[in-house]
């Protein structure tokens, strides 16, 4: 069947959105996300992780309150901390407030998106969509590239 011009246009538009690395806001908050990355997994038994910088470019504070992604049955924002005697631990971080103009970094050894119950292995070279859910009801979709297991940052 031949496409009508309108259908072709819709398809092109869909392709454009699919290729856009960082999705548009569903709500009103003014959030920019940069430097997103994840590590490849070995199978699905071990939890995955994602890191990124989240900037609140708006005039009001906003809190990151949750995550959603098809790759994880239980995505959660976690914080790793290391105490004075060198013992590291990890626990759910609760809501993460981002003040106006501030950047919150999800980075190794600090905050991270913990991707428990992986639904499929995270393969190096692929990417997946991760929705960040904010206190004002807005959502931001981030495309997260999957780097190697030994990656140290967004550039590998």
Residues that bind Cu ion (CB under 5 A): 78, 90, 114
C-alpha of 153 from chain center: 14
Query: Is residue 150 within the footprint of another protein (CB under 8 A)?
Result: yes
Query: Is residue 85 within the footprint of another protein (CB under 8 A)?
Result: yes
How far is CA 56 from each of CA 5, 11, 64, 103, 144, rounded to the nearest angstrom? Answer: 39, 32, 10, 6, 19
- Of 68, 49, 62, the C-alpha closest to 110 is 49
Closer to another protein by Cβ: residue 118 or 140: 118
Closer to another protein by Cβ: residue 123 or 152: 152
Query: Is residue 9 within the footprint of another protein (CB under 8 A)?
Result: no
**Contact yes or no for 65/95 (Cβ under 8 A):** yes
Smallest separation, CB 140 to another protein (Å): 22
Query: Is residue 46 within the footprint of another protein (CB under 8 A)?
Result: yes
């Amino acid at each position: 069947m031949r496409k009508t011009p309108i259908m072709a246009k819709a398809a092109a538009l869909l392709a454009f959105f699919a290729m856009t690395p960082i999705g548009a806001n569903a709500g009103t908050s003014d959030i920019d996300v940069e430097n997103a990355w994840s590590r490849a997994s070995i199978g699905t038994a071990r939890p995955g992780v994602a890191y990124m910088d989240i900037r609140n470019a708006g005039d009001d504070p906003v809190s990151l309150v949750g995550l959603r992604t098809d790759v994880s049955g239980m995505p959660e924002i976690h914080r790793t901390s290391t105490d004075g005697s060198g013992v590291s631990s990890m626990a759910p971080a609760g809501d993460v407030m981002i003040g106006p103009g501030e950047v919150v970094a999800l980075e190794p050894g600090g905050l991270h998106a913990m991707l428990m119950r992986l639904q499929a292995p995270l393969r190096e070279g692929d990417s997946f969509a991760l929705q960040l859910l904010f206190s004002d009801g807005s959502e931001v979709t981030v495309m997260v590239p999957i780097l190697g297991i030994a990656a140290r940052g967004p550039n590998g």
